[in-house]
Chains A and B, each alone.
Chain A
Amino acid sequence: MSKKWINRLSIPLLASTLLVAGCTTTEKAATTVEKKAIEGGTLVMASNQEPDTLDIQQVFSGDEPRYQAYEPLFHLDHNGKVVPGLAQEYSVSEDGKVWTIVLKEGPKYHSGAPVDAESVAKSLNRFRDNKSGLYAMLFGSFEKAEAVDKKTVKAYFTEPFAPFLASITSYWISPVDPVVVDREGENFKNKPSGAGPFKFVEQQRGSSVTYEKNPDYAWGPEYSKNKNAPHIDKLTFRFIKDPQTRVLEFKKGTIQILRDVQPAFVKELESVPGVTLNKYTNAALNYIGLNTKKPQLSDVRVRQAISMTVDREEIIKGAMEGYAEPAYSPFAPKVPYWSEKVEQEARKMYKKDIEKSKQLLADAGWKDTNGNGIVDKDGKELTTELYIIQEQIWERSAQIVQSQLKQIGIDVKIKPADLTTVVKQTQEGVHDMVLFSYGWNDPDILYIILGKGTKQIGIEDAKLEELFHKGKTTVQPEARAKIYEELQRLISEQAGMVPLNVPQVIDAYHDIDGYMKNPYMFNTIFSDIQLKK
C-alpha cells in the first residue's frame, strides 16, 4: 500500500524539485557590494601538471607550484632587463670563463641561515652533481663554484658559457637551504626550503601543494610593488587535469586564478562578471620540425615550399582562436638577440604563395604525374607523417596544416602520441615532420634542436655548427647579437624549422587585487596579490 504512494508521488515530486532548483540558478550574480582587498586568506590557483619533485634543482615539470619556496639570484624585469634578486651584481672575466656574483646583505633561508657565498656556492655545486636533464642547457661547461668571501661567489667554466646569464636569472638555479639539505638529504624534495616569499607547508599527492607566507621575507625584486612578506597567508595550487572541470571550479569561485586557459574557453570566461583575462607572450615559439634526413624532405626547395604554403594566420584563427602572433623567424621576439631584421626578411621570403610553392616542388622534381592530387617523383609519392603530442592545440594545428599542404600536393598523415613517445621518436629521427614548441631566455637552446648529431631536424652544416659554438662562447652582448643574427638568417634559409607562431598565454582571475605576471620569469608575483572579499 505505502509502496504505491511512494511510487506515485516520488517521480513527479523529484522531477519538479529539480526543475525548480535548476531554474533558480545559483550562478554567481554580479554583487552590488564592492569587494575590498584584505590582508590574509588563502589564494587558490588551478594547475594542470603536478610536479614530481619540489627540489628545484631536479628540473622536471611543473613550474610555478615549484618556485614559491625559492628566490633566484637575479630576476628579469618586464622588459627582460637583469635586476637583482638574492644577488645584486654580476660580472664576467675577460676570457669569459669566470663569473663573479656579489650577493645582497640581509636575505635569509627559511631555516634562518643567511644567504651567504658559502651556501650559494654549495648550491651551485649541488646542481652540478645532480646532473639533471637540462644540465647542458643551464650549466654547459661549468666546473665548480667557490666562495671568495662572505658575499662573493665565483663560478668557473672550462670554456666561456654565455647562456649562464639566463640560468642565474631563472628560478631553477635558486639557492637551496643548506641546513635543510644537510638534514634531509634525499628527502629534501619532500621538504623544500629556500629563501623565497613562501614556506612549504604540505603536498597532497594527486591533489595539491600548499605554501604559507614567509614573514621574514623582505627582499622582493624591484618590479614588484610589495617587496616584503606576501599579503596572503596561504597559497594553494590545485591540480585538476580536466580543463572543463578547472573552468567550472573557477566559475564557481573556489579558485581565484586559472592559468594557461585554453583558447576555446576564453569567450565563456569573458562573459562571466568580475573575471579579468591576462594575455601575454613569452619566449615560446610553435614550429614544424622537418626531418631533413628523410628523402622527400632533404631538398631545401621542398622545405621552403612547405614554409611558403603554410598559412600561419589560418592556423592562429582555427587552432588558437586568434590568440597568437605569426612568426617567420626561428626566434620568438622575447628571446634575447631576436632580430627584427631577419623576421622581416623571412616574412618576405616565405610570404604565402601557392603558385611559387608548386613551382619550387616542380623544380625539385615533384609533379603530379598520375592526377591523384599528390605530387610524385620517380614513382614515389610525397607522403609524410606528422608527429604530434596529443593535445588540442597540436591536434587542431595539425589538421589545418594537413589540409593546407594538400593544396600543393603533399600528403600528410597525422600521428598523435603522448609527449614521452613523441620525444623519444623524434630523438631517434623516426618522424618526417613534428609539431613542437620551444622556448627559453637564451638562444643557445636551439642547439638541442639543430646541433650536430641531433635527429629532430638532422641538418649537418659546418657554418651552423660554427655559429652555435661562437654564440655560446661569446659573452659580449654586441658581438653575440651579430652572431645570432647570422644564425637566425641561416636557419631561416635552410627551412629545417618552419616557425608558425608565438602563442599567447592566457590567465584568468577574479576576486583578487594586484595580479601581475612576469613572462620572463615564467612566474606570477604572488607577494603583490591581495584577496578581495
Chain B
Amino acid sequence: MSNYLLKKCLSLVATVFGVSVLVFCMVHMIPGDPASAMLGQFATEEAAQEIREKLGLNQPLLHQYLQFVTHAVQGNFGTSYFTGLSVWEEIVNRFPITMQMALLSLVISTVGGVLLGVVAAVKKGTVYDFVSMLISLIGISAPPFWIAIFLIWFFAYKLSLFPISGYNGLASLWLPAITLGLISASSVARMTRSSMLEVLNQDYIRTARAKGVRPSGMIFDHALKNAFIPVLTIIGLQFGNLLAGAVIVEAVFALPGLGTFMIESIVKRDIPTVQGLVLFMTVLFVLVNFITDLLYGLFDPRIKYE
C-alpha cells in the first residue's frame, strides 16, 4: 500500500512540474504582451518598453521561469501586472465561489445521475428507462451554453425563482450549479445504468433473486456498491469537466469565480495571474483524481494497490 502511495505521490509531483513548464511556455507564446494590453491602442513604443523593463519581461526566459517556480513553491504567485494585488489573494477570494458551485453541481450530478441511472437499470425496457436515457442523451449532446441560457431565461427571468446573475451568496449559485449538474448528471446516469445492468445480470444476483430475496434490499446493498466503482471514475472525471464547464457558466451568470478570472487574465496577458491560476487549478484537479483513486479502496477491498 505504501509503495503504491509513494509511486503515486512521485508521479503527482512530476505531473505538477510538467504542468508548470507547460503553462509557462504557453503563456509566453501567446502573441501580444502585457505592455500592449495595458497601454491599449494609443500607446507609444517607448511607453511600452518602459513597462516591459519594469515588469522584468526582458530578462531571459529561463531566468523568468526559475523565478516563477521558486516563488510558486513558497506559495508566492507574484502580483498582477494590472491591479497590483497579490495573485494568491485574488485566487483565494474567488476560489470559494467556483468551488461551491462545482461541489453543488457535483452533488446534483451525483444524486440526480445515480437516481436516474438506477431507475433506468432496474426498470430496463420500460418507459422510465427510455425517458431517462433520452434525457441524458440530450444532456450530453446539447451545447452547454444553450442549456445555460435557456435555464436562465425560464427559471430566473420568467419564473423569478433565482437571480439572473451575479454572486450574492449561496442562493445565486443554485442555477449555475443546476446547469452544470444537469449536463454532468447525464454522463453519470448513463454510466450508472450500464454498470448496474452488468452487475444485476451477474449470476450471483440472479441466483439470489431465484431464491426469492427481495429486490430492493439487494439493489442498494450489493448491486449498487459493486456498480459504484466505474461510477466513481466517472464522478472523478466529472469534477474536471465541472471545473472546465465553470468557465462557460461563470461567463453567462457573471459570477466572479476562477473561470472568468482566467479568461480576463488571458485576454489582458496578465502573466503572473494566468500562470498562478492554471497551476492552481491543475494541482487541484490532480489532487482530486488522486483522492478518487484512493477512494476505490473503500468500495472494493478486492483491489490491491500493486
Contacts and interface: CB of A to CB of B under 8 A. Distances in A.
Contacts, number: 142
A61 B40 contact: yes
A239 interface: yes
A215 interface: no
Contact of A424 (B33, B82, B157, B166): B33
B294 interface: no
B44 interface: yes
Contacts of B167: 207
B84 A245 contact: no
A240 B264 CA distance: 12
Interface residues of B, number: 55
A425 B33 CA distance: 10
Given A52-B82, A133-B38, A7 B128 contact: yes
Contacts of A252: 156-157, 160, 164
Contacts of B152: 245, 248
Contact of B166 (A205, A207, A251): A207
A420 interface: yes
A26 B158 contact: yes
B31 A424 contact: yes
B32 A421 contact: yes
B164 A245 contact: yes
Interface stretch (B103-111, B222-230, B250-258): B250-258
Chain B contact residues: helix, strand, loop or mixed: helix
Contacts of A264: none
B156 A248 contact: yes
B165 interface: yes
B218 interface: no
Given A22-B154, A27-B158, A238 B166 contact: yes
Contacts of A204: 256
Contacts of B131: 11
A423 B36 contact: yes
B148 to A, nearest CB: 10
Interface stretch (A98-106, A134-142, A516-524): A134-142
B204 interface: no
Interface in B254-302: 254-257, 260-261, 264, 267-269
Interface residues of A, number: 52
B256 A206 contact: yes
B41 A22 contact: no
A60 B82 contact: yes
B305 interface: no
A436 interface: yes
A335 to B, nearest CB: 15
B208 interface: no
Interface of B: 30-33, 36-45, 47-48, 50, 82-85, 90, 93-94, 119, 128, 131, 149, 152-154, 156-160, 163-167, 216, 251-257, 260-261, 264, 267-269
Given A249-B166, A252-B160, 20 more contacts: A22-B154, A26-B158, A131-B47, A135-B47, A205-B93, A205-B256, A240-B166, A241-B251, A254-B164, A417-B31, A417-B32, A420-B33, A421-B31, A421-B32, A423-B37, A424-B31, A424-B32, A425-B31, A427-B45, A448-B41
24 contacts: A11-B131, A21-B158, A22-B159, A27-B158, A52-B268, A133-B39, A136-B44, A137-B42, A205-B83, A205-B256, A244-B149, A252-B164, A417-B31, A419-B40, A419-B267, A420-B37, A420-B267, A421-B32, A423-B36, A423-B41, A445-B42, A448-B41, A448-B43, A448-B44
Interface of A: 3, 7, 11, 21-22, 25-27, 50, 52-53, 60-61, 131-137, 186, 189, 204-208, 238-242, 244-245, 248-249, 251-252, 254, 417-421, 423-425, 427, 436, 438, 445, 448
